[in-house]
Structure 1
Amino acid sequence: MLINFLKDFFLIKEEQLALHDKDTFRKSALRILLMTALFFGLAINLMTSIEAWRQDNFLIIAINLSFVLLTLFLIKASKHYSNKLSATFLISLLISSLLMIPLIQDNQTLKHGLVFLYTLPILSRLFFGVKASLIAMGFNVLTYTYIVSDFNISLLPKQYDLTLPNTDMAFHTVVFVFINIAIPLAISRIFYTLEANAKQMEVLNNKINRNNELYEEIFEHTGTATLLCNRNGQILKANRKATKLLGFNDSNQLEESFINRWLAPIGESKERYFWQSNASNCQLRSDDKIHIELHRSNLTTHGYYVMHLQNVTHLKAMRKVLDHTQERNSRLAKFDALTQLPNHSNFCQLVNQKITKGQEHKTGAMFIIRISQFKLLNKQFGQEKANQIIISFTRKLQENLSDKTITSRLRGVKFACFIPIGQTYLIQRNLSALIQSVLPPQLKLNGESINLEYHVGISYTPSDGTNAQELIEHCEMALENATSADRLAYYNHARETNLIEEYQLGTLLSEAIKQDEIHLWLQPQVSASGDIVSFEALARWQLSNGQYVSPVVFIRIAESLGLLPKLAENLVRELVSLLAVWHQEHIKTPVAINLAGQELMDDTFFALIMSLSADYTWLSEMLELEITETSSVMTNPLIHKRLKTLSQYGFSIAIDDFGTGQASLGQLIDIPANILKIDRRFVAPLPSDKRHLDIVKSTIEMANSLNMKVVAEGIETKDQAELLAALGCHTLQGYYFGKPTPVLEWTKNDNEKAKQLRMVF
């Protein structure tokens, strides 16, 4: 128990000895010195105090007591070691020694006592730096001078002389204890730490050497010619393969040189710091016929580059041969270079000849095949394998088709086929079955199975066209109508008419947007009590003949033509002008505006919203943004980022048509929405349809759990309104409460109607 206490006090337990910081061993050394001073000091002080008591010299007793108390105080204070504590200890020793000069008037005894000052340099070095030790050495020059000289100092009268008969022996004992016991023990504690440090350094050094050997072996056996360079292109290390590739026998000839001394960039890589590119094409400066491909990877921890070198001379030669072959094939004006199928012009010529002759069959069918999602295959397998897939598909298709079929590669992954048919295949179901039977659902490439999907556009001759050009055009139109659900689409004349009408309508729409002829109507949104709490702004377009175009139609056309951002810009400007007037009139009724997503992808439109928000600080409280969830771009990360920005600026974000579009639940995570709009298709069957009722109820419960406000649209009956209010729907909207009406209805007569239906704050 006592031994454990002493070990803990002197900090010499195993875990304490393992600590190599200087404060630990200095604290240990200080305690050793203090305890030595205390125990031996008590014995000496007791002896001298008894003699002083006999001589009625109470000053010595007081000095002895002060020494003991000071030592105890320093021992207690050593619990929290600091340089101040060590300095206090050394200064106490110095003052104690200097006090002997006036109080010990026996010169020989005084000199014996001053010898103790010789321990100051080593104690100063023990607890402080070399400077402190040098200062102590310099001071001891004075001590030495005084001791060896015959100079006698008498500063006080004789009655203050504290010399006792045994004082000389006491001084000898103190010097003996400190020099022979205390200081060696303290230094031993330090030496133990130094030895432990040395052993640890040796272990670490051995570990570093082993790791270095391991890394050397890994670097040497990377499997490729490898260089280690710094950012400036200086070669720090080269393995054997790299040394041999660059034409040397010894890597020392390369190290410390710069990479551009041995390699010269070519082609697109021809730049000053070509080694900093991910991949560079180079040639040896010593032999420009040797081409090397340089690939870089970062070592971010140290900021160095690992360079992998590959000799691609033979690949360059092969590519050159391939280029010549392709060049020769490109001169073959009538065939596709990759598949060797007739190209577009040759195909048209062959088909027209077949139609003109019409000897065996009077009818025929043309279909254009497009391989779906081929860009993904291209990205997954690379260009070379993608080409092999096309070639393999071509061969398989030709094997499945009859010899009478004319096949062509039009472009990319589009293939056209013309086949004479009999009456049986005039029935679309039969022709679809035939086409599906000849399309390979799966290909094998290098033992790997690749699944393929297709979209097909089909037209008949002579009903859909009497020449190849017409049939191809009509197949292309049909192909546009092919979907993932119905992958085979037939040309439809009525559909063509609709497309033409939509094209004409798109031209008018573009002009209408330029002339700002599309305006906003407002439809009220009410609370469960029937009070108007907000509006939804809806776009309306009236043609010059007075007819209105359905928003579903012109919004779809605007989206397909990329006109939505400009249209939304016009509508937002119109709406903000209205809100500015209402703000001045203290009409604080929010208005929601629909955004399909394409607008938020547009930098100009997003900048407009941010600019208006800065100009009108109240705008975020009055303008709500409804995001149409059916838009496919709503899953784009840029949309999510910009919506988060708008939300941070205080705008309310609503998810419109919830449950009908792109990954509804995912949108609740990605979009910072605080309003959820239940689509009319879920509201219309209420209250009779239990399935729709359960869906609406669970949607409201989910929205409430997410602290989102719920708006139900498409309410047309009182029963629907009462049911949705009872279910906890916050806001109601529909023809039952009010149809959309022009903005003028709400703003005429100094916004009279808007003021009446909403309290003015």
Structure 2
Amino acid sequence: MLIDSLKQYFFIDSDQTSGQSEASFQLSILRILIALTISIFFISELHSLFIHGELFFFEMNSLYLCALFTLLYFSQNHSQTTASLFVLSLVLVSGVMLLTNPEKESEKYALIALYSIPLITRLLFSFKASLVVMVLNFVPFYLVTTQWLNSLPANESSSFYFQLLTFMTLNIGLPLAVSQIIHSLENHSTRMRALYRKLNENYLLYEEFFENTGTPTLLCDQRGVLIKANQLAKKLLGQKHHSTFSGTRMGDWLSPLNNESKLFWQSNKAECTLKHNTDMHIQVRRASLTNHGHYILHLDNMTEFRAIQQQLENTQQTNSRLAHFDLLTLLPNHLNFCRQVNIKINEQEHHLTGAMFIIRISQFKLLNKQYGKDNANKIILNFSKALQNKLSDQAIVGRLRGVKFACFVPLNQTHLIQKNLSALIQSLLPAQLMLDGRRLNMDYQLGISYYHTDGKTAEELLEHCEMALEYSTSTDKFSFYNHNLESKLVREHNLSLKLSAAIKHKKIDIWLQPQVNASGEVRSFEALARWKNEGVFVSPMVFIKLAEDLGMLPLLAENLVRELVDTLSVWHQEHIKTPIALNLAGQELMNDAFFALLMTLIADNPWLSNMLELEITETSSVMTHPLIHKRLRSLSQYGYAIAIDDFGTGQASLGQLVDIPANILKIDRRFVSPLPQDQRHVDIVKSTIQLANSLNMQVVAEGIETKEQATLLIALGCHTLQGYYYSKPSPLSDWTANGHEKAKQHRMVY
């Protein structure tokens, strides 16, 4: 205890490397030197008291000892002052001993003390202060040496050399050597402080990296003893107190899975669970092996991943079923159906014959609208069940999409005949289905192809069934694939591509056919679309139907209307009062942009009401749509003349006269061509003219090819006549050539 207190008192901050180390070092040296001086003078005090018995020296020693103890006491708070006073006291004591004590031995001790002051000064102060004291010591050295040389005999020079050696060693040699040692120690200390700062910075950087790796990270040795962990790792492991973590082992926190080695932390990757929570899965990844033989481990919480993985495994069968079967009917979907059919074909390739057919429920859109989506799904489900019940185990049935079902049925020789196959398929299809106690009559369309003859794979057979289905109708529901049909589809496809380009580049021409009155004067024209493909005219019935299928009728009609309006604008300026009628199929009026164009044109050119007539093809199915009737009423209110074309051949003819605000009625050529021989057609035309007159509508008869037909129609009261008998259609350019010369001949029709 006493020794520790003395060490703490004399060896101050012996391990300290901070900026206060130099002051602590000087304070420690000061205390040691004062204590040593006290010891020397205390021994001298005892010697003078008991041996010499001189009271004067006893009193002087006692006084100096008191001064030394005082300096030792004040050394803590006034170290620099104490050091100065201590050095000054040594000088004074040495001087007093040198001047007052005539003994040679005392004089030597005084000189040794005096020559030691530069060393003490270097230890307590700076090198410069030590140099100053060295220089000052030359004065007593000179005085003492001169005195000795004068008093000694000439042959006794040993005392002089001893004096010189002592002076050089104590006054010069030792202070310089100690200065060099202190200088080296200071340089070393400076370098050590720099290294310490750098080491501290690197340590802080390492700490920051370790703490902010973004993942829970551990540091352990090869035995699995944990050395360090960042906050994420501590949080993941559930470690709350540092004392409960440091020095523990990996096995205290984690348990390996899947028969992993007990030394799982030495593996590159290991799956574990927490000891205190086995539901939490942890993946341990070894990042690297450090130079110290330690392992850096990254921890990943795999609990959610494990849960998702388990969920995926649990739903794998369900996903597989959804990927291969229709969700509603549980029938094979397109890919699975083709796979099953191809397997059957490959198993029995040499002796298998069969038929592939696609069934489409014809009236399903109407059923969907009438009964709702849920009940429509019930119809599909009931149909699939009824179909499967009637098919043999050898047949394969699947749902393609929507209301299309595909069947592959093995055939015998009897059913290779189309008539017998049609009867077989007809017997398989349920004629009626039950829906909530109601019986629904079912109607179908089918496309059929034969295995071997029409294709070798399920995909090829289905493709040919789709082609055949395109040509099934409400009257001819069973359509068989043949190569001519495929060629026809290819031709129509190529023709549709050319037609699309022709419409986009405005290559469809306008031809005009005159409409005359009873006296044969031109009253108006009908604009007819003509298309010449590779030098050959394509029938309007063909390319108009193609344009309708392509959805390009609105664009075609827009091109024709704009060209007609440009021509009519010139005619209006030239006072040519001959109107032109343009035929519309209904799809154009359903188009918002085309309807807006018609409204804009007549708003900007009010005179168009007398020059442009709109003929509505009454055979178009969309003519029954309420939106068509609404828009035709708007066009009529804006001034357009509305004509019903092909009257008597289309959708609800008499009803159309009520719903459509028409003022012109056109009698179709099918009623005109049998005239005048067929009396029934005469009566039909007569009644139609009378109906139009009663509704205050004008009548136009088209398709007139003979004089007898023209004479009869005039006699029946027909207002306007049209046909080859009067004039064939001719290009619009014929009527606009030479400054519209031909059209000007009819400028004053009215």
3-state SS in 2 of match to 1:339: coil
Cα distance in 2 for partners of 1:379, 1:696 equals: 39
- 1:445 is displaced (CA, Å) by 4.5
- 1:407 is displaced (CA, Å) by 1.2
2:432, 2:442 within 8 Å by CA — same for their partners in 1? Answer: yes
- 427 and 759 in structure 1: CA distance in 2 versus 1, 3 angstrom threshold: same
**Structure 2 stretches of 5 or more lacking a match?**
1-312
Cα distance in 1 for partners of 2:479, 2:604 equals: 52
- Partner in structure 2 of residue 580 of structure 1: 569
- 471 and 744 in structure 1: CA distance in 2 versus 1, 3 angstrom threshold: same
- Partner in structure 2 of residue 658 of structure 1: 647
- 532 and 350 in structure 1: CA distance in 2 versus 1, 3 angstrom threshold: same
Q: Alignment partner for residue 373 of structure 1, among 363, 372, 375?
A: 363
Is 1:425 aligned to residue 415 of structure 2? yes
Is 1:623 aligned to residue 612 of structure 2? yes
1:565, 1:599 within 8 Å by CA — same for their partners in 2? Answer: yes
3-state SS in 2 of match to 1:402: coil
1:365, 1:459 within 8 Å by CA — same for their partners in 2? Answer: yes
> Deviation string for 1:717-748 (max 9, x for gaps)?
10111011101100000000000011121222
3-state SS in 1 of match to 2:529: strand
- Partner in structure 1 of residue 681 of structure 2: 692
Cα distance in 1 for partners of 2:689, 2:314 equals: 67
- 424 and 706 in structure 1: CA distance in 2 versus 1, 3 angstrom threshold: same
Letter in 1 for 2:611: M
Is 1:562 aligned to residue 554 of structure 2? no
- 1:426 is displaced (CA, Å) by 1.6
- Partner in structure 2 of residue 550 of structure 1: 539
- 723 and 603 in structure 1: CA distance in 2 versus 1, 3 angstrom threshold: same
Q: Alignment partner for residue 657 of structure 2, among 665, 668, 679?
A: 668
Cα distance in 2 for partners of 1:390, 1:731 equals: 53
> Deviation string for 1:109-137 (max 9, x for gaps)?
xxxxxxxxxxxxxxxxxxxxxxxxxxxxx
- Partner in structure 1 of residue 146 of structure 2: none
- Partner in structure 1 of residue 52 of structure 2: none
Is 1:722 aligned to residue 722 of structure 2? no
Q: Alignment partner for residue 517 of structure 1, among 486, 499, 507?
A: 507
Cα distance in 2 for partners of 1:326, 1:595 equals: 56
> Deviation string for 1:256-295 (max 9, x for gaps)?
xxxxxxxxxxxxxxxxxxxxxxxxxxxxxxxxxxxxxxxx
Cα distance in 2 for partners of 1:446, 1:361 equals: 45
- Partner in structure 1 of residue 348 of structure 2: 358
Bigger Rg over Cα? 2
- 435 and 533 in structure 1: CA distance in 2 versus 1, 3 angstrom threshold: same
Letter in 2 for 1:449: R
3-state SS in 1 of match to 2:476: coil
> Deviation string for 1:358-404 (max 9, x for gaps)?
36843210111122322443444444444343333222212211111
- Partner in structure 2 of residue 707 of structure 1: 696
- 1:756 is displaced (CA, Å) by 2.1
- 1:497 is displaced (CA, Å) by 1.5
- 1:340 is displaced (CA, Å) by 2.6
TM-score (norm 2): 0.56
The percentage of aligned residue pairs carrying the same residue is 68
- Partner in structure 2 of residue 410 of structure 1: 400
Cα distance in 1 for partners of 2:693, 2:644 equals: 14
> Deviation string for 1:618-657 (max 9, x for gaps)?
1111111111111111111111111111111221100001
- Partner in structure 1 of residue 158 of structure 2: none
Letter in 1 for 2:362: S
Cα distance in 2 for partners of 1:536, 1:664 equals: 22
Letter in 2 for 1:502: E
Count of aligned positions: 438
**Structure 1 stretches of 5 or more lacking a match?**
1-323
3-state SS in 2 of match to 1:699: helix
- 715 and 375 in structure 1: CA distance in 2 versus 1, 3 angstrom threshold: closer
Letter in 2 for 1:743: L
Cα distance in 2 for partners of 1:659, 1:516 equals: 33
- 1:336 is displaced (CA, Å) by 2.6
- Partner in structure 1 of residue 483 of structure 2: 493
- Partner in structure 2 of residue 313 of structure 1: none
3-state SS in 2 of match to 1:657: strand
1:586, 1:760 within 8 Å by CA — same for their partners in 2? Answer: no
1:441, 1:451 within 8 Å by CA — same for their partners in 2? Answer: yes
- Partner in structure 1 of residue 594 of structure 2: 605
> Deviation string for 1:305-349 (max 9, x for gaps)?
xxxxxxxxxxxxxxxxxxx99996443133333323222222112
Is 1:590 aligned to residue 589 of structure 2? no
1:470-489 mapped onto 2 (5 Å cutoff): 470-489=460-479
1:361, 1:420 within 8 Å by CA — same for their partners in 2? Answer: no
- 360 and 450 in structure 1: CA distance in 2 versus 1, 3 angstrom threshold: farther
Cα distance in 2 for partners of 1:504, 1:580 equals: 37
- 1:451 is displaced (CA, Å) by 2.6
RMSD: 2.2
Cα distance in 1 for partners of 2:628, 2:342 equals: 50
- Partner in structure 2 of residue 174 of structure 1: none
1:326, 1:337 within 8 Å by CA — same for their partners in 2? Answer: no
Q: Alignment partner for residue 452 of structure 1, among 421, 429, 442?
A: 442
Letter in 1 for 2:352: K
- Partner in structure 2 of residue 639 of structure 1: 628
2:523, 2:749 within 8 Å by CA — same for their partners in 1? Answer: no
TM-score (norm 1): 0.55
2:467, 2:489 within 8 Å by CA — same for their partners in 1? Answer: no
3-state SS in 2 of match to 1:528: coil
- Partner in structure 1 of residue 527 of structure 2: 537
- Partner in structure 1 of residue 455 of structure 2: 465
- 739 and 377 in structure 1: CA distance in 2 versus 1, 3 angstrom threshold: closer
1:343, 1:409 within 8 Å by CA — same for their partners in 2? Answer: yes
- 377 and 721 in structure 1: CA distance in 2 versus 1, 3 angstrom threshold: closer
- Partner in structure 2 of residue 114 of structure 1: none
Cα distance in 1 for partners of 2:492, 2:643 equals: 30
1:407, 1:416 within 8 Å by CA — same for their partners in 2? Answer: yes
- Partner in structure 1 of residue 171 of structure 2: none
1:715, 1:733 within 8 Å by CA — same for their partners in 2? Answer: yes
